[in-house]
Structure 1
Amino acid sequence: MADDVPGASSGAGERYAVVALAASAGGITALGKVLGELPAGFGVPVLVVQHLDPRHETVIAEVLARRTALHVKLAEADEHLRPGTVYVAPPNRHLLAGPWGVVSLASTELVHFVRPSADLLFESVAGAYGSRAIACVLTGTGRDGAMGVAAVKSRGGTVIVQDPASAEFAGMPEAALTANPVDFVLPIDEIGLVIRGLIEARAK
């Protein structure tokens, strides 16, 4: 149960504890726009799944760090999540948020032909944080993330989906919208501002 985990809650008015973002094709640009709207001192950690080519080393953390005031790094197993830090799933590893705010990385089977999986990230965030989680699906091909946002909604969390009309690739946003009712459908230029506003509103 989410309520058994510190930081998780079923109370919709309590402070948010985590933001999870997922993207695939076109995602670097979209992630940069969202993260660029989040200020230094942002009050919660941000977890990111971006589908990457597992055959090559990635410089995604360095690229995104140039577009945001937040600290950006590749996630490491067993590290504790810290506010104001962006944790990016390494290539070919699933990124999971575990109890007590501890990161897990897994090399288990592909989900919808991909690893890392947005579905697994969102499901782990739903289980660990309940209504204190924000999950966001950005541009990408395929259906990854659709099952995960359903899990977040079922635990009382908040779901944001990029408006498919503003997405470079509409597959992931469209799949998320057909799978479950969501809280916000927004153009890419508004998503970061809304996330910031949600976090700040509940922090008061």
Structure 2
Amino acid sequence: MPTPRTTPAGRVDAIVIGASAGGVDALTHLLPALPTNFRPAILVVLNLPRSLPSLLPEVFSARCTLPVHEAGDEQPIQPGTISFAPPNYHLLVDRDAKGPLLALSTDAPVHFSRPAIDVLFESAAAIYGARLGGVILSGANADGALGLQAVKRRGGVTLVQATETARSPAMPEAALAAGPVDFVLPLEQMPAVFRAWGDGGAI
């Protein structure tokens, strides 16, 4: 694993997370472990069937101390809030005069997925730069691999779930094959990294 680090800017303002198969279980270990004073915004894309409603906000609201909701178009990004991409919409990060916004798009699927992880990561990297954390969890395709490298190119910090701990290792494997990352960790070690990103401390 590369030498652990925070971002060059220290604290991160937002964390983007991508997952598919096995991702709900991974998030169940990760998101409820975050404290009420956790400040970065968390934006999540899970590759789910486009034709079905998402129950993720309800499921995680009952388990997390942080507020959880489904992302809405042109919604200001709030610190310390978990936002899930809705089914059949790409989730992006945009900006207006007041600051970063959530945006939804019905552009063509990417990696056969809408929402797609790459779309979120690339747009968030363009807005947040070095104040972004990017995370790839369990999944069964290559979505997110290029997006994670976009986060790294912009100076952000990157984290991939250790493949031997992922129910579906294809997504972490693709992310690692695409280029260097900063952390490769099992789920139980990830909350400590998140907390360090939130306060700018060293790991």
Query: With structure 2 as the length reference, what TM-score do the two structures score?
Result: 0.91
Q: Does 1:31 align with 2:19?
A: no
Answering whether residue 47 of structure 2 is matched by residue 48 of structure 1, we say no
Counterparts of 1:50 and 1:192, CA distance in 2 = 19
Confirm whether residue 89 of structure 1 aligns to residue 85 of structure 2: yes
**How far apart, in 1, do the equivalents of 2:50 and 2:200 lie?**
38
What's 2:174 paired with?
175
CA drift at 1:37: 1.6
Q: Which amino acid aligns with 1:201?
A: G
Residues 91-119 of structure 1: per-residue CA shift (max 9 Å, x gap): 01100011221110001001011111110
Q: Output the CA distance in 2 between the equivalents of 1:186 and 1:14.
A: 20
How much does 1:41 deviate? 2.3
RMSD after superposition: 1.4
Deviations 1:66-111 (A, max 9, x none): 2211111000000101111101000011000112211100010010
Contact 1:28 1:64 in 2 (8 A): no
Partner of 2:106: 107
Write out per-residue CA displacement over residues 1-44 of structure 1, whole angstroms, 9 at most, x where no aligned residue: xxxxxxxxxx8134311011111001111112111121112111
Q: Is the 8 A contact 1:41 1:83 kept in 2?
A: no
Partner residue, 2:159: 160
Query: For residue 5 of structure 1, what is the aligned residue in structure 2?
Result: none
Contact 1:32-1:68 at 8 Å conserved across structures: no
Q: Read off the aligned partner of 1:105 and give its amino acid letter.
A: L
Query: Does the aligned pair in 2 maintain the 1:24–1:51 contact within 8 Å?
Result: yes
Q: Deviations over 1:101-149 (max 9, x none)?
A: 1110001001011111110111011100000000000000010000001
Q: Distance in 1 between matches of 2:52 and 2:132?
A: 31
Give, as a single letter, the amino acid of the residue that structure 1 aligns with 2:68.
V
Per the alignment, residue 74 of structure 1 pairs with: 70
Other-structure match for 1:6: none
Matched residues in 1 for 2:198 and 2:178: separation? Answer: 25
Partner SS for 1:191? helix
What is the one-letter code of the residue matched to 2:21?
A: A
Q: 3-state DSSP class of the match of 1:130?
A: helix
Task: Please state whether the residue corresponding to 1:19 is helix, strand or coil.
Answer: strand
Aligned to 1:4: none
Aligned-residue identity in percent: 41
Is 1:138 equivalent to 2:134 in the alignment? no
Measured in 1, the distance between the counterparts of 2:129 and 2:193 equals 19
TM-score, scaled relative to structure 1: 0.91
- Runs of 4+ aligned residues of structure 1 deviating over 3 Å after TM superposition are none
Matched, 1:60 2:60: no
Does the 8 Å CA contact 1:37/1:193 hold for their aligned counterparts?
no
Q: Does structure 1 conserve the Cα–Cα contact (< 8 Å) formed by 2:130 and 2:156?
A: yes
Contact map agreement 2:10 2:197 (CA 8 A) in 1: no
Quick one: which amino acid aligns to residue 57 of structure 1?
Answer: P
Matched, 1:19 2:15: yes
